[in-house]
Amino acid sequence: MKYYLIAGEASGDLHGANLIKAIQKHDAQAQFRVWGGDKMEAAGAHLVKHYRDLAFMGIAEVIGNLRTILKNMAFCKKDIINYKPNAIILIDYPGFNLRMAKFAHNKGFRVFFYISPTVWAWKQSRVYTIKKYVDKMFVILPFEKEFYARFNVEVDYAGHPLMDELADEKTIGKNQFYNKNKLDPRPIVAVLPGSRIQEIRKLLPTMLKLIDDFTDYQFVIAGMSTLPSSIYPEDKSIKIIFDQTHELLRHADAALVTSGTATLETALLNTPQVVAYKTSPLTYAVGKLLVHIRFFSLVNLIMGKEIVTELLQKDFSKEKLSAELHKILLSKPDRQKMLAAYAKLRDKLGSPGVSDRIAGLIQKSLNQTN
């Protein structure tokens, strides 16, 4: 069969590549045409557009690139018509992909959506678009199934793809990791300041103020080589390790983490954490009006209660950060309580093999319509 996949960012490229490999187990002759990245191409797909050319974040950037976005949409529609796929698999990237879902459905194509938009947090009206134009939705958070059921939309939950990613990773021992990165013998506090320049500028300076309060530990920044090096401290005494976030977390005693998927990764790697986030007062005020969620971190959202402390906006201070870090490093009861909750979280997210299970569900659905 012929499959057309659309992913608009790095995480979608990774999950799409794993899904392609899983589909190939069911359908050895499968052909794939994709919008994605290097990982999907390496998995055997024909890459039409790279996600580098699709990532426009923020209102100003979207408006400034509107002509490019509209041209991409028009090209995508034409390309789908010419390719005539048996299935279209849309991976996250809702602003673009929900429009493609409507187009593809109206043209009679089978439409699958993998990784739901965060309709439970905001833009709830998108549920009706999904209900009308998507044949099968595959969600990755356990509470999403319940959420969709309120709208009489049946979705499939097969687990979280991070379970596959972490299970497949090659790991190294603590001594090897320390030697490889020229670390001193002290235990590590991992610092994950985010993946966007604005986040790092707002959060990292305060996180690093804690260094003098915890001299028995070394603070190590999880850096990203895709960002300008100037965004990170030039002080040679502050250690930065690039593109080894998971390995860093595996060997850290605790972590300071910017809210996002990184909070879930940190929990699944069993590292106690303090979650932080700060944005402009205006953005936060508007967000509070539009976003209807009790918690910011995925760990707390999935568990439905506070497992990890969230220090947001005014609460994000050196004093509060230091107090919370002290708890998870030096208070055995606090540390054990968090690790016990992490174990329950892993149970909720299911076992590895997520991509294989979703590939099987796609095959079953396609076979039922043939």
Q: Which tens digit of pLDDT belongs to each residue from 188-224? A: 999 999 888 888 998 999 999 999 999 999 999 999 8
Give per-residue pLDDT as tens, 270-305: 999 999 988 766 766 666 666 667 788 999 999 999
Contact 282, 345 (CB under 8 A): no
> Do the Cβ atoms of 116 and 137 come closer than 8 Å?
yes
User: The tokens of 207 are what?
Assistant: 């996180």
In angstroms, the CA 113 to CA 89 distance is: 6
Q: How far is CA 38 from the centre of its chain?
A: 18
| Each residue's pLDDT tens digit, 63-108 | 656 677 778 889 899 999 999 999 999 999 898 999 999 999 999 9
Per the CB < 8 A criterion, the answer to whether 344 and 304 are in contact is: no
Domain 167-349 adopts which CATH fold?
Answer: Rossmann fold (3.40.50)
Return d(Cα 342, Cα 345) in angstroms, integer.
5
CA pair distance 336, 184, nearest whole angstrom: 26
Location of structure tokens 């915890």: 214
Phi-psi region of 179 (alpha: psi -120 to 50; beta: other; left: phi over 0): alpha
- pLDDT at position 291 is 67
pLDDT (0 to 100) of residue 61: 53
Asked whether the predicted pLDDT for residue 60 surpasses 60, the reply is no
For residue 107, which of 126, 129, 127, 88 has the smallest C-alpha distance? 88
Residue 66: phi and psi, rounded to 5, are -60, -40
Please state whether the predicted TM-score (pTM) of the whole model is above 0.75: yes
When pLDDT is cut at 50, 70 and 90, the band that residue 359 belongs to is very high
Question: For 350-361, what is the mean pLDDT?
Answer: 93
Tokens of 209: 């103020």
What residue ranges do the domains of the chain occupy? 2-159+352-369, 167-349
pLDDT of residue 261: 85
pLDDT at position 70: 77
Residues 11 and 350 sit within 8 Å (Cβ to Cβ):
no
pLDDT mean across residues, the chain: 90
pLDDT of residue 293: 73
CA–CA distance, 299 with 259 (Å, rounded to integer): 10
Q: Do domains 2-159+352-369 and 167-349 have the same CATH topology?
A: yes
Averaged over 6-34, what is the pLDDT? 92
**What does the pLDDT read at residue 123?**
85
Q: What are phi and psi of 23, to 5 degrees?
A: -65, -35
pLDDT tens for 305-346 read: 999 999 988 899 999 999 999 999 999 999 999 999 999 999
11-15, 210-214, 320-324, 356-360: the lowest-pLDDT one? 11-15
Choose between 236 and 175: higher pLDDT: 175
pLDDT(121) > 90: no
Cβ neighbors of 170 (< 8 A, separation 6 or more) are: none
CATH topology of domain 2-159+352-369: Rossmann fold (3.40.50)
